[in-house]
Chains A and B, each alone.
Chain A
Amino acid sequence: MRLWGGLDRLARGADLRGATPSAPGEGQRRNSRFTVVTATPTSTVTALLAIPGIVLLFALPAFASRALLQELFYVFTMLALAQLWNLLAGCAGLVSVGQQAFVGVGAYALFAFTVMEGFDAVPSIALAGIVAGVVAVPAALIVFRLRGAYFAIGTWVVAEVCRLVLAQVKQLGGGTGTSLPTDVAGAMLGLEEVRELFAVRGPAARDILAYWLALLLAAGTFMLVYRLLRSRYGLALSAIGDAEAAAESAGVDVFRTKLLIYVVTAMATGMAGALIFLQKARISPDAAFSLIDWTAYVIFIVVIGGIGSMEGPIIGVLIFYLLQYYLAALGSWYLIILGGLAILLMLFAPSGVWGVISHTFDISLFPVRRRLIVPGDKAKQKEGEA
């Protein structure tokens, strides 16, 4: 599951700036400087191809049907949630089954800001993210006292507490929930411009705006996770994943690193929740804090695609979407099939579809592991790949 030997790198004294190693290791023995890189030729090509891809998706509302935009809205929001859970569980080892807490808190914050305070919906999404982040701090301080699998159930209890508390808020509909007044969604920032630009009516313009926001969220989340994993925090995370105690002794502040990841993830998850329920325009505690919708599906996406990689959630969300499209009509049988697939994957291909592909063809489109490059030593370069 650990795709990159981070601790190994750390112990050899390699940091991202490619400094002369201070610890005894290959670098010093050869008495040469080395560099640490993450990019590969494939990844450079992918990054270059991604730019026109994003532009194309951005321009999609000009020629795509409204139904397609609605489907893509779902795909993008699920992709964002999957990337975030992957960062948390796959990279930081914080296996949470309670991320619905932040989806729900974000969604309720959006409703509170728009319905009770009369704020515009679009900036309220960002505010909802901040609220989710604020809630995440005390939650983390409590659940971080639990380790491993018990941490997982602890996060679930936190989600239940959030659900039960928000069900008490009568102004937001209590236990039965409430609908978003039509003027909130009808007067969103930028809606008028979209309507004029595409010459469409209100509801269609709302879908376009929501689609763009979802695209922005998915792309933004992707960039955030990707950059984070390639930064010093990524190195610290992989070290923690390899051996927590050793990482701590090598100078990684384990608690602070985990707290940072947990809170950042919660903020982005909260924004996703706010956006999802802005588009749904109706909220209830059971829907906003649904374990199946916001955690089980998300875990399934990550596991089937390949946990611990950037590519996994993308592949996972596409497979999940197809399964949903063809099998959702089966009702409970659909869920039984998903559960069975997840079990089989864990037993026979725990690194998921992308894990099998990348292992077979040795490719990485969005590499996050670091490779050691020692100048003038081609053989060493190969070996440096963990």
Chain B
Amino acid sequence: MLGWVDTLLQGILLGGLYSLYATGLSVIFGIMRLVNLAHGDLIVLAAFLMLALTAVGVPIILAVAVVVPLMFAAGYALQWALLNRALGRNILPPLLITFGLSIIVQNGLLETFSADTRRLDVGHLQSASLPLGGGIAVGLMPLICLAAAVAVIVLLNGVFYRTALGRAFRATADDVEIAQLMGINNKSIYALTMGIALAVCAVAGLFLGARANFDPSIGPARLLYAFEAVIIGGLGSLWGTLAGGIVVGLAQTIGAHIDPEWQILSGHVAFLVVLVIRPRGLFPRAVD
């Protein structure tokens, strides 16, 4: 029984990490109907950037403070220079550009950092845990990760629903042509969107690196978890994405509890089951 309670707790905490992976994907899909196949690799890239900074003696907090705006700038530039040119009715060009980017990032990391597994050093937080009584304890790092996922969503919802800029985002998401008539420059909105998505990727990269080992090849799997969280949650709702992340996390830890080899498989199967019984996700808002 204790084992199961622990499993469920771990699943929810893991869901916090997956929700962080998924939030950026959810935002860019919601606003520009774009799917970034390099999403997972960019999360891993952010983790490696932090690793490189801490390796030369920069404290991890400072490394995060550098990498988050750096990834924002990279996202802005990526959208401005490449993806804005390819957006259109045909989904193939942006999809294949991000696919090419995924291969470039992955192999670039492999070339620069080798295939060794790494871990971000976050000091004593690494192993600290919080006893919950009854023999159950949760790691402090996973707990902070879940809190960060919630904080990111609160922050983004604040921007989207309470600011003039957010209104422009939502208008562009609803109908890009009418938004343009109202004087909104959709291309700069798109660039900002990708910037925000990659800034969230950087936060996700921190927890990816701090919670477990990583190497250049693990990006695509993170993309799949993120994607599953978005679809399970339902398009257009960030809280839905959090719920979706928790569903994937729970499915994985429950699967692993039964047989360690089933961890990843049960996450995928949960996704397929949701797709069959609720094709629009658990909390759909947008119609697409």
A residues near B, CB below 8 A?
Answer: 1, 89, 95, 97, 142, 145-150, 152-154, 156-158, 160-161, 164-165, 167-168, 291-292, 296, 299, 303, 307, 332-333, 335-336, 338-343, 346-347, 350
Contact = CB atoms under 8 A, between A and B. Distances in A.
B224 interface: yes
B82 interface: yes
Contacts of B99: 97, 296, 299, 339, 342
Contact of A340 (B100, B102, B227, B271): B100
A292 B275 CA distance: 26
Interface stretch (B90-98, B116-124, B185-193, B239-247): B90-98
Given A89-B92, A164-B264, 20 more contacts: A142-B272, A145-B275, A146-B231, A148-B91, A149-B95, A152-B35, A154-B231, A158-B272, A168-B261, A335-B107, A336-B104, A338-B100, A339-B99, A342-B96, A342-B97, A342-B99, A346-B86, A346-B92, A346-B96, A350-B92
Interface of B: 29, 33-35, 37, 82, 85-86, 90-97, 99-104, 106-108, 110-111, 220, 223-224, 227-228, 231, 261, 264-265, 268-269, 271-272, 275-276, 279, 288
A137 to B, nearest CB: 14
- Scoring B96, B97, B104, B265 by chain A CB atoms within 10 A of each residue's CB, the highest score goes to B96
- Scoring B29, B92, B102, B220 by chain A CB atoms within 10 A of each residue's CB, the highest score goes to B92
Contacts of A339: 99-104, 107
A153 to B, nearest CB: 5
9 contacts: A156-B224, A157-B227, A160-B268, A333-B107, A336-B103, A343-B82, A346-B86, A346-B93, A347-B85
Contact of B97 (A168, A332, A336, A347): A347
Nearest to B90: A1
B95 A95 contact: yes
A343 B110 contact: no
Q: Is the interface of A mostly helix, strand, loop or mixed?
A: helix
Contacts of B96: 299, 303, 342-343, 346
A343 B97 contact: yes
A287 to B, nearest CB: 15
B271 A157 contact: yes
Nearest to B102: A339
B2 to A, nearest CB: 28
A350 to B, nearest CB: 6
A106 B36 CA distance: 29
Nearest to B107: A332
A343 B90 CA distance: 15
A329 to B, nearest CB: 14
Contact of B111 (A153, A160, A161, A333): A333
A160 B34 contact: no
- Scoring A333, A343, A347 by chain B CB atoms within 10 A of each residue's CB, the highest score goes to A343
A145 B95 contact: no
Nearest to B38: A339
Nearest to A148: B91
A7 to B, nearest CB: 14
- Scoring A167, A341, A347 by chain B CB atoms within 10 A of each residue's CB, the highest score goes to A347
A335 B95 contact: no
Nearest to B85: A347
Contacts of B268: 157, 160-161, 164
B18 to A, nearest CB: 14
